[in-house]
Structure 1
């Protein structure tokens, strides 16, 4: 295996092995298809049946209920997909399986029938479970002997995530809104297929890296520990090597909590959309659905607390800190993920997207630069890859070239299509690209901040992130303050939505990329799989909460106002952020020196 890793580092581009960029582009096309399709969901489901671009005309609450279950499941299946790859398939085969299943899912959705739509969502959930955890595992394996370069590798890879999201939402959204939903869903499937072929035809580059399940378990000491202190070393080795096997009670609690959570996820849209229920009973004044999800949460907390109690104090304290951060993560994503729900509805129905004269001209110039400059940079990287690898993986390079020629063609056509009219209507999906754009431009600044002497503690970063998130919604609340109760349309300035995305992205940069970093520092190697599962579960809960709360947009805006709806989303994150500030001393103590 080490020989294969050394061979990977013989051919480098920008200081990293070519294999990293194979993974970069595979991830880019997967994110292209994922975000390109996902941003269409709320618009397609709620679009009027009788219109130039008819959708299904679902109530917003129904649409967001389904999207919430879908988004939540996307963070649960990777727990299973990672386990299957570890035990049987290996990472690379799992990635290919995931790509194939997701491609079939996009094809099914492009058919726009009821049965094919649900089948497509199911296939995308299953495919993501195979793809999401295992492509990052390949990177981890590639850099086993190059730990110092791993941060840089993940930074490059993260840029691929955002580049894919950027172009996916822009191009799939453009085709769907201007030519029909089938074109948007279909384009996502085409690029998913090209991404899979590009990866499949490059398999020789990786040798045995990611080809077989790992059978070894290493005891890993944290880099930032005082290794001159024998007691610290003793505690870490003991914590890392202590198995703490799952007891029969643990396994029963896992099964019951999992079943309860899954039943709730499927029953919620079934009740709201189908008018039926898998749990047609009431208990203590609660509906069957609410009782089951509450019981599942209690059972999971019993499991988590029971397992933590069986560890030595230093490990128990650190895991308690991780659990508190996971709770903050639930709150963050419950509000942040309004971007593909209520905020997209706000862009579509309540934002003035009509531009004329000089304003339209300026927007066209800015939009053209936003689109073409990243493409030029990525195309240059592709040229460097071709020079290094065409003789080895020519067919993979051909697939990559076809994909980028397709993107260039669509980008040029889109610019051409919008350039000859004095009036311009900005696509509602265009606002979704702002998050990716702001991440790419602001990430280096935040990285410098974290490396400076002014680097805040973990709790303070969470606090800053949550407060920034709340302030973004505060901007929307102010912008929507003049919209009367019950209004279904309005013409609020685009500036409010742009500023909201800016503040939300800054909040994300304070919190989201750092969560997994702290988890890897605080959790001993033996327990990393279980705690990653807890982390994904926290995000899954946040995803479901996001769309459940977003589904209340009509009820709150009719009874009060749309400004009140966004004011709620302002006050709660800021309140939770202040709680994080108050918990800062406790969390520092629980982390035992880890920064």
Structure 2
């Protein structure tokens, strides 16, 4: 075994994988805890009345800010990935990102106007450094064991969903029941634990993720022999113009909405200045993208077009799927009967206790296995990690006991969002088996099935809301409709989310991976901002035609995209040139 072989990491294993994978597992788990915990509260806090210690914003304003925030989160990954690859390395990028996010959550806990905006800005930049580089470390760790990589990403993905689940459950409960500041602050506390644990245990990764050397940066050039098409001066100038327009727009759009038109950087373009600016940026991007496609060999060009097609479908998927922390959470708070008593309250308490304690118990068992392997060398990292688990167990038990105080129980509006993570953990193994079987659908079919499931979920909530009159501010719709929404939407996510990045890696030449991942994350960012744009219109539509009409619109859009995806199957199959 050579000194540089990644087989060295398999000398110390947990569940057949390197101990280092589980250091990343817990770091990512606490980061996702903080991200989803805060995100579950953001729209609720902004739209809560002043009497409930919120900001009392209209839903339109809250969704405008939320859409730009989640859009910027994904755009920032391109910046963070670049700095890690070229300048500071994966490890320092993770540390810098975690530190900025810790400061961001702390800032939001102050709850003043400037601190909330500062906190969101720090979270955006921090996420950009953190998010793309955790998976990069895993990829390097398994470089000489590719047959183990799928299993590694599955375990890591479970950490992602465990963190999201616990973050929404606990931060959401504290934020809604005790105080917003406590919910935001708790997210920051666990982000800090993740940072300290990673810092103290980072030597477990050997030389992986250190500051890149010049030869490492350029080594990807030798991985394929296709025609090289470097960016020319005019193309770089166009990219700078597009980036500037896009960034100014994504920040300016919510500012214009919140200030009700009094502040608008693009006012010189007229009343529709914001729309003109972003459409110009998107138009220039498409022109540049397709011009560059013409410069490559036929097979490469057609595969790149196929990737771009899937990216386009992803825009629509995320724009509708990401109604969860926005319009669906508002629907849960204002239009859903969340008050339970008698046997229904008992059933909820038992179910909630089970879905809280069982995952925590399993993760604690994994933590114990990691301790046995690494405590001798990384004592302080393990002590920090154990302290974080003692705290989270304490909060979870307090939450469950607090729900026993009254005969009547009110489910927090944020609680429904935990169903996504719960269903993913439950259903992911079944979908994985499906993809590995002889019945594995084509890429187009997976996208089509995913969009159909998305439509089915939206149809459930649309049907459930049909009795709500136009203009109504409250209602008492059964919780079953929201449970069905998250079930169908999670199945749709399992059809689409893991598939997209896989096809980028399969279809794109090695040296262009970074550029096309950038295109992919741009598509996701547009989808996230699109979710906010849809959400901005919920009150206008609900007041005129009823809130059910809003969800029927999203249902129809999902169905149209599903039909389009499957209808394009013969063309896309030809463009993929044998890649499955």
Q: Does 1:519 align with 2:520?
A: no
Judge conservation of contact 2:14–2:369 (CA < 8 Å) in 1. Answer: yes
**Distance in 2, Cα, partners of 1:514 & 1:429:** 28
Judge conservation of contact 1:32–1:191 (CA < 8 Å) in 2. Answer: yes
Judge conservation of contact 1:243–1:526 (CA < 8 Å) in 2. Answer: no
**Distance in 1, Cα, partners of 2:373 & 2:74:** 36
Q: Does 1:154 align with 2:153?
A: yes
Matches within 5 A, 1:383-398: 383-398=368-383
Equivalent residue, structure 2, for 1:405:
390
Residues 200-225 of structure 1, C-alpha deviations (whole Å, 9 max, x = no match): 0001211111112233524788xxxx
Judge conservation of contact 2:5–2:144 (CA < 8 Å) in 1. Answer: no
**Distance in 2, Cα, partners of 1:431 & 1:57:** 22
Compute the displacement of 1:4 (Å). 6.4
**Distance in 2, Cα, partners of 1:212 & 1:139:** 16
Equivalent residue, structure 2, for 1:465:
450
Matches within 5 A, 1:70-219: 70-213=69-212, 214-218=216-220
Matches within 5 A, 1:19-34: 19-34=20-35
Question: Residue 482 of structure 2 is aligned with which of 481, 491, 497?
Answer: 497
**Distance in 1, Cα, partners of 2:125 & 2:194:** 17
Compute the displacement of 1:282 (Å). 3.8
TM-score, normalization: structure 2?
0.98
Compute the displacement of 1:75 (Å). 0.5
Residues 63-107 of structure 1, C-alpha deviations (whole Å, 9 max, x = no match): 110111111000011101111111111100110010111100010
**Distance in 2, Cα, partners of 1:381 & 1:220:** 40
Question: Residue 479 of structure 1 is aligned with which of 464, 470, 483?
Answer: 464
Equivalent residue, structure 1, for 2:408:
423
Equivalent residue, structure 2, for 1:59:
58
Matches within 5 A, 1:528-539: 528-539=513-524
Equivalent residue, structure 2, for 1:231:
none
Judge conservation of contact 2:462–2:548 (CA < 8 Å) in 1. Answer: yes
**Distance in 1, Cα, partners of 2:121 & 2:406:** 41
Question: Residue 264 of structure 2 is aligned with which of 277, 298, 304?
Answer: 277
Equivalent residue, structure 2, for 1:333:
318
**Distance in 2, Cα, partners of 1:281 & 1:204:** 54
Judge conservation of contact 1:281–1:287 (CA < 8 Å) in 2. Answer: no
Residues 457-511 of structure 1, C-alpha deviations (whole Å, 9 max, x = no match): 0001000001110110000000000000000110000000000000000000000
Judge conservation of contact 1:220–1:524 (CA < 8 Å) in 2. Answer: no
Equivalent residue, structure 2, for 1:266:
251
Question: Residue 277 of structure 2 is aligned with which of 282, 292, 296?
Answer: 292
Matches within 5 A, 1:358-369: 358-369=343-354
Secondary structure at the residue paired with 2:256? helix
Compute the displacement of 1:2 (Å). 5.1
Aligned residues: 574
Matches within 5 A, 1:567-582: 567-582=552-567
Judge conservation of contact 1:256–1:299 (CA < 8 Å) in 2. Answer: no
**Distance in 2, Cα, partners of 1:135 & 1:448:** 26
**Distance in 2, Cα, partners of 1:293 & 1:466:** 26
Judge conservation of contact 2:63–2:326 (CA < 8 Å) in 1. Answer: yes
Residues 312-340 of structure 1, C-alpha deviations (whole Å, 9 max, x = no match): 01110100000000000000001000001
Secondary structure at the residue paired with 1:281? helix
Compute the displacement of 1:248 (Å). 1.4
Secondary structure at the residue paired with 2:340? strand
**Distance in 2, Cα, partners of 1:408 & 1:165:** 16
Q: Which moved more, 1:438-447 or 1:4-13?
A: 4-13
Judge conservation of contact 1:13–1:385 (CA < 8 Å) in 2. Answer: yes
Secondary structure at the residue paired with 1:76? helix
Judge conservation of contact 1:4–1:206 (CA < 8 Å) in 2. Answer: no
Judge conservation of contact 1:468–1:503 (CA < 8 Å) in 2. Answer: yes
TM-score, normalization: structure 1?
0.95
Judge conservation of contact 1:279–1:289 (CA < 8 Å) in 2. Answer: yes
Judge conservation of contact 1:315–1:523 (CA < 8 Å) in 2. Answer: yes
Gapped runs of 5+ residues in structure 2?
Answer: none
Residues 168-189 of structure 1, C-alpha deviations (whole Å, 9 max, x = no match): 0000011011110000000000
Compute the displacement of 1:3 (Å). 3.5
Secondary structure at the residue paired with 1:75? helix
Q: Which moved more, 1:429-438 or 1:417-426?
A: 417-426
Compute the displacement of 1:311 (Å). 0.6
Equivalent residue, structure 2, for 1:586:
571
Compute the displacement of 1:255 (Å). 1.0
